[in-house]
Structure 1
């Protein structure tokens, strides 16, 4: 039995006693008047009067209890509705007749419930929108309260930091295990000043570089939050490093032939030009070094064009395309006495970026010539899959050690420096062109003179 029900029963009992006393008093007065007017009133009349008094009292108590019970039920209904509204639960409307004494109160409770439902709906939508934005940010976000407990962690931060303690709030140190990052957070707690630092953090067993902002965010009444923002700048740092390496390597590659040309030219000017044989020899060397400079400049320009030129997709005959490359390199093939096999079916058509395909086939076949053995073989093959296709170029040359199969795609990297004439950019250009077409490239080779196969794979475009 609820407290309100107990209270209602107590009021009913009090009302019943008061009613009985009042009715008895009124009956006594009536009885006195009747006896005064009619002294012959009998005991039976007296008993009947008492019975009527009791009946009236019972009826009054029943009516009072009914009203009291109705009030208790209304109060209980209003209380339940308001409690459920506060909890954010949907509640049914309270419908009362306009002549009900609680009608206006029921309308007010219904309006409160409607307003709260609307507010909760808006708040829920805002929270869902904020969560969707947070979870799709390419930035890690952590919010730590003044008690050093993690309040918020978006999906990016959970994945990058390997957060497993998903019951929030909890001590942030359960998730932030990197000591440098902990030190930054502690520094902000103590100084109440935001800091920024580049940190190297472990991500899935791999090391990533993060631009880390730890922000002090003050609130009202001396409260505050610490917001940690993690920007993965690994690729940016790597790109800058590659660019710097490229500049350094390009400078070195340019310096060698330029120094050679300058040296031989100076020797000629000092009098060596008077000897016809020496003059002829030196001029040939200068011509050779000049050709190297031209090839290097062409390859550097090609790398820039592959990245920056618009992609124009076109359906081409792969067999005819490779045949054209063999024809263009005919002199080089004859010089090395190489046998070529174009095993692509003659009717093979694929949609490609023609400039990219040109650089891929040209550089792969050129490499297969340069690193082949005298009298060897070059074979070009095609493989079709459900939603992709592959092109492979194989040679019978010196091969590539397994531990260098990835490095060969680096700019200016050479497996065998004894092979002259190349710029060291051929396979780097191939990779740039393959990536530009959304494909992948792999090496199948060993250093046992069994040759090398380079395979490029692309998704099929309709």
Structure 2
């Protein structure tokens, strides 16, 4: 039984008990008054009957009759004279009669009741005419103690009736509350569960068309709406947490006192943080003082702030853009700060590459343009009249023009390869034949430098590739090997056939590459030996083009080198392209 139901039943029973007790006293008093009035009527009737019988008799006859009637009557009868003396009859408890208090002269002809303070008896007195014209007084008495048994029975009946009524009312109230208050108790319990977040709790819906059923339906509808809202909120919270946790930038939330409320996974991975960050002061979590200064400025100025900051990780350094913004409450005061960390290291590298590209293109174009302009001015100043000088200068102008043309063509070629929609023209290529053609093509250059090209291939190796592009790769790598190898050196070209891929190696015993320069050899305009490269007519774009072509074929290119020992380029290409 619920507490609400217990309290309701207790209050109802207390109220009903009070009503029944008051009703019992009222009924008891009513029954008592009714019985006394009934006894009075009997006294009056008996007294009037006897008075009519005794009227106008002699006193002795009256006395004899009274004595006779007294023996047979249920009442005590007393016959008085005018002086209050008892003529006949004997009361049961004569000591309680106060004869002197009776004013016989004031008794009316209809008779009267004598008032008793202690209410121990009922006495009715009536005057009777005698034969000689005088008056005597006849009194009928009924003692209340004779009525106690009757009163006890009446009270017993009343009490039993009240107890029976109480039990009936109790069971009626119990059943009614079980029927009407159970939905309220269940509703209270369900609402309690809902207030604690248990949105799956439901009320049993009654079938009877009354307010209880409507209450159950309303609460269940509320519970379903809360469950749906909670599910939606939980989903939104999960999405937001996932977004915050896995967003591409590091995130930190700081409260108004400077304590860290949240850092996301990206931030922890950015700065290699494995311990607990929440609950600490922000300057103890940040990697350097410059980042802390960004947040301090936000608290001081209450305006967004952003700065770049570099953090060293071992031998490497990374650059971050730190952006901080204040969080304002409803009162307009700063409630905290949001800090976003973006790793702009690659952007800085791309920016530097762009600057280097512009500088290199400007330099590569400026050198031949300067030569062309200088020799052209010399010819215009009169050197054209000397045939030997004129021919020499025109040859130089021609060579520098070709160099500029080659540079522009390589730039255009590299731009085409870098386009997202660029498509290779693939076909079945015999790599062995391609290598023999390349060796034949570059044999003249090798002979000029007294170098030997060693070719080690299998009979036939076929792959799906772009023939022209693949030939461009081999020619570039073999030409570089010839250019960066001293006279009398060697170049080895080998081909190995595999089940799913082929492996091509181009090796030389030239000047090699310094370890610090190994990571940059595929950058645009980067030269290991700038003087040797320019003298050979190279633009510095050959290896960048090679790398893009290999990537388009879904292959890989690796380089191994030691200074003054030579360099080996290893290319792996899938057979299916």
Please give the TM-score of this superposition, normalised by the length of structure 1: 0.81
**Deviation larger for 431-440 or 119-128:** 431-440
Q: Which residue of 2 aligns with 1:376?
A: 490
Contact 1:319 1:342 in 2 (8 A): no
Q: 1:66 to 1:359 in 2, by over 3 A?
A: farther
- Is the CA contact 1:378–1:396 (under 8 Å) kept in the aligned structure 2? no
Task: Name the CA distance, whole Å, in 2 between partners of 1:406 and 1:116.
Answer: 59
Matched with 2:511 is 398
Q: Which of residues 465, 471, 474 in structure 2 aligns to 1:361?
A: 474
In the TM superposition, 1:418-457 aligns within 5 A as 419=532, 420-421=535-536, 422-449=538-565, 451-457=566-572
Between the aligned partners of 1:338 and 1:209, the Cα distance in structure 2 is: 48
Conserved? CA contact 1:195–1:214, under 8 Å = yes
Query: Which digits, 9 at most, give the CA deviation of each residue in 1:49-101, with x for residues without a partner?
Result: 53443333234334435555667654442233223334443222431243665
Given candidates 161, 170, 174, the residue that maps to 1:61 is 170
Aligned-partner SS, 1:308 = coil
The aligned residue for residue 292 of structure 1 is 403
Deviates more, 1:326-335 or 1:278-287: 278-287
Match of 1:316 in 2: 428
SS of 1:397 mapped into structure 2:
coil
CA distance in 1, matches of 2:485, 2:428: 28
8 Å CA contact 1:445, 1:452 repeated in 2: yes
Partner of 2:317: 207
C-alpha displacement of 1:408: 2.2
| Partner SS, residue 311 of structure 1 | coil
CA contact (8 A) 1:142 1:228 kept: yes
Contact 1:210/1:233, CA 8 A, preserved across alignment:
yes
**1:41 shift after superposition:** 4.5
Does the aligned pair in 2 maintain the 1:379–1:393 contact within 8 Å?
Answer: yes
CA-atom RMSD in angstroms: 4.0
Work out the CA distance in 2 between the residues paired with 1:353 and 1:234: 35
Asked which structure has the greater RCO (Cα within 8 Å, sep 6+), the reply is 1
Moved more, 74-83 or 432-441: 432-441
Question: CA 1:457–1:59 in 2, change beyond 3 Å: closer, same or farther?
Answer: farther
Q: C-alpha offsets along residues 144-172 of structure 1, whole Å, 9 cap, x if unaligned?
A: 44444545555444433455567867654
- Find the residue that maps to 2:493 and give its secondary structure: strand
Could you tell me which residue of structure 1 aligns to residue 303 of structure 2?
A: 193
Query: SS at 1:442's partner residue?
Result: strand
DSSP-derived class of the 2:309 partner: strand
Structure number, greater radius of gyration: 2
Deviation at 1:443, TM superposition (A): 1.0
Q: CA–CA distance in 1 between the matches of 2:285 and 2:180?
A: 55
How many residues of Structure 1 are paired with residues of Structure 2 in the alignment?
Answer: 459
Task: Give the secondary structure class of the aligned counterpart of 2:306.
Answer: strand
Matches within 5 A, 1:410-425: 410-417=523-530, 419=532, 420-421=535-536, 422-425=538-541
Inter-partner Cα distance in structure 2 for 1:148 and 1:154? 17
Counterpart residue number, 1:183: 293
Query: Unaligned stretches of 5+ in structure 2?
Result: 40-146
Does the 8 Å CA contact 1:85/1:117 hold for their aligned counterparts? no
Match of 1:79 in 2: 188
Partner-residue secondary structure (3-state), 1:423: coil
| Aligned equivalents of 2:573, 2:35: Cα separation in 1 | 120
Q: Deviations over 1:14-60 (max 9, x none)?
A: 34642552463365257537856697858667546534433332343
Tell me the residue number matched to 1:18. Answer: 18
Q: Aligned runs of 1:20-35 on 2, under 5 Å?
A: 21-22=21-22, 24-25=24-25, 28-29=28-29, 31-32=31-32, 35=35
Rounded to whole Å, the distance in 1 between the matches of 2:274 and 2:177 is 56
